[in-house]
DNA sequence: TTTTTATTGTGAATGAGTTCACATACCACG
DNA sequence: CGTGGTATGTGAACTCATTCACAATAAAAA
């Protein structure tokens, strides 16, 4: 290997940070509101002001994906919104399966926001015999025993895991075996999945713990230090 | 103002990053499992392996709050767990109010994990006359009209906002006026609150959008760029 | 008691993400 | 058609977080 020439490995695959993608979601919603309010263009300054960000941040985030604005004028509201939808991949429908139809699962079935965003729950699974066969918003609950086969047969692309913590890793493993590459997990455990599988976890307890921490010591660590050491 | 002397403002209040606190929650759960499995000590290496982190990360995180380990041996499992509970402020009970008892709200009332972590729902509010006065797991639903007065009277410390998006900002403002300093928001909007109020938002749509993005272009931006520009 | 082994705690180095600052470019108006 | 005003897009500077690497030190073994 020639080490005296600079390797021309200018990585053609720039990696986008998680924060940038989260903010893209924020811009998307902000643009929807701006559109509803009748705006045709918006500056990075105004967008930033509305979402409590900095103008530079907005411009930098967008610049990763191209040049969408007009100098001196700003960004075209509805056009940019469409472009972001395309970037996020929400300009299409996604086939989703819900696994576990307990408290949280039931709430998710009824949650209209998902549907509105193009995420359609096509299958529901549970292991409770009393639930299997019952109807949830027009979807028959399937036996979780048939998970792998049904996931494959029904072209599911995303699974939502809403089973108890102790069962979650097993369910995740089975989804992986069925070829699922994207999962949203509501069980309060850190699931382990292969690198090529995208997993997001909504851990409400962790959020509450963060609130609790912030409340106890307002961001500073002094009190914590003292308390923890004298304890 | 003397500007020639270096201000001795060595900030006694080290700020802890959000990521560190999130990981503290992770360690806390991992330690609970280790305890259940009968371990008395654990090394940063083992803790890291289990949670897919690096040993250095584990040690650095903990070191912000003190020295909890023994060189050559590791950390005492159950003692460290207690210390983290103390740091996170979950070695006590928190009085929580739930605002909005629709799909998500109902699921949260029934969710036992909160209770188990010391977060007790003491009040429930809604604006629907049919729900007001009804009983949810032993708690009478109050009229949201009485929000401020009841929040104050019942020593609520944390509010969980589970109302529709369009009503969320108003509810948040009223919580702020009632002196609430910590809120967990489930409405898909970026709420604006004063700096001294801690707000966390669980936005499931945003998580799905992140999954969608990751699925469409496996972390790289190439396809996005091309698609977005030709569109 | 001394040596070996293991693992912490932490400054220093690296890397990632954010903000700054300004050249660039477009629109509007005269 | 030229000039003024304005906001983008981006390299460079900066700030914050993670990883490295090793001295410090406790336990176990000899």
- List of chain A residues whose C-beta atoms are within 8 Å of the C-beta of residue B183: 211
The reply to whether A94-206 shares the fold of A18-88 is: no
Query: Per the CB < 8 Å rule, is A224 touching B13?
Result: no
Q: Which of A15, A21, A211 sits opposite B200 (nearest CB)?
A: A211
Chain B segment 197-226 residues within 8 A of A by beta carbon are 198, 200, 202-222, 224-225
Residue B204 vs residues A74, B66, B185: alpha-carbon distances, Å: 30, 35, 11
How close A13 comes to chain B (CA, Å)? 5
Q: What does the pLDDT look like over A175-187, one tens digit per residue? A: 999 999 999 999 9
CATH architecture, domain A18-88: Orthogonal Bundle (1.10)
Looking at residue A221, its pLDDT comes to 66
Confidence of residue A5 (pLDDT cuts 50, 70, 90): very low
Task: State the nucleotide closest to B71 in CA–C1' terms.
Answer: C8
Domain over B18-87 is classified CATH 1.10.150.120:
no
Q: What is the pLDDT of residues A37-86, one digit of tens each?
A: 999 999 999 999 999 999 999 999 999 999 999 999 999 999 999 999 99
Query: What pLDDT shows up at residue A15?
Result: 86
For residue B137, the surrounding DSSP H or E stretch is none
Contact A221 B110 (CB under 8 A): no
CB spacing of B221 vs A117 below 8 angstroms:
no
Q: Which residues of A touch B216 (CB under 8 A)?
A: 88-89
Q: Could you report the per-residue pLDDT of A138-164, keeping only the tens digit for each?
A: 999 999 999 999 999 999 999 999 999
pLDDT in tens, chain B (231 residues): 333 333 333 344 578 999 999 999 999 999 999 999 999 999 999 999 999 999 999 999 999 999 999 999 999 999 999 999 999 999 999 999 999 999 999 999 999 989 999 999 999 999 999 999 999 999 999 999 999 999 999 999 999 999 999 999 999 999 999 999 999 999 999 999 999 999 999 999 999 999 999 998 775 666 666 565 555
Q: Which pLDDT belongs to residue A220?
A: 64
CB neighbour list of residue A198: distance below 8 Å, 6 or more residues apart = A181, A182, A183, B210, B211, B214, B215
Distance from CA(A77) to C1'(C26), angstroms, rounded: 17
Domain A94-206, CATH number (from 3.40.50.11260, 3.40.50.720, 3.30.465.10, 3.30.420.40)? 3.40.50.720
| Whether residue A11 has pLDDT greater than 60 | no
pLDDT at B217: 76
Please report the pLDDT score of residue A60 as a whole number: 98
pLDDT at B13: 59
Spatial CB neighbours of A138, under 8 Å, sequence gap ≥ 6: none
CATH topology of domain B94-204: Rossmann fold (3.40.50)
Residue nearest to nucleotide D7 (CA to C1'): A72
pLDDT at B9: 37
Closest chain A CA to residue B190: A51
CA distances from A17 to A24, A35, A82, B3, B57 (A): 11, 27, 21, 39, 20
Give the integer Cα–Cα distance in Å for A199 and A159.
10
Chain A residues near residue B189 by CB distance under 8 angstroms = 29
For chain A, domain boundaries = 18-88, 94-206
pLDDT band (50, 70, 90) for residue A110: very high
Model confidence at A231: pLDDT above 80? no
């Amino acid at each position: 290997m020639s080490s005296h020439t600079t390797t021309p490995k200018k990585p053609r695959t720039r990696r986008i940070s998680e924060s940038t993608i989260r903010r893209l979601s924020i811009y998307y919603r902000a643009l929807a509101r701006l559109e509803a309010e009748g705006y045709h263009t918006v500056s990075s300054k105004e967008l930033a002001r509305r979402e409590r960000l900095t103008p530079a941040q907005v411009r930098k985030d967008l610049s990763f994906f191209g040049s969408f604005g007009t100098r001196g004028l700003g960004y075209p509201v509805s056009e940019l919104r469409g472009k972001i939808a395309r970037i996020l991949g929400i300009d299409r429908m996604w086939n989703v399966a819900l696994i576990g139809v307990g408290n949280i699962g039931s709430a998710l079935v009824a949650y209209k926001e998902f549907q509105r965003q193009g995420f359609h729950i096509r299958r529901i699974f549970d292991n409770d015999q009393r639930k299997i066969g019952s109807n949830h918003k027009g979807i028959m609950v399937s036996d979780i025993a048939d998970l792998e086969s049904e996931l494959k047969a029904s072209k599911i692309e995303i699974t939502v895991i809403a089973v108890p913590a102790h069962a979650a890793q097993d369910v995740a493993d089975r989804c992986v075996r069925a070829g699922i590459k994207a999962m949203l997990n509501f069980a309060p455990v850190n699931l382990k999945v292969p690198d090529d599988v995208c997993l997001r976890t909504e851990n409400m307890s962790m959020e509450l713990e963060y609130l609790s921490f912030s409340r106890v010591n307002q961001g500073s660590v002094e009190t914590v230090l003292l308390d923890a050491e004298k304890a």
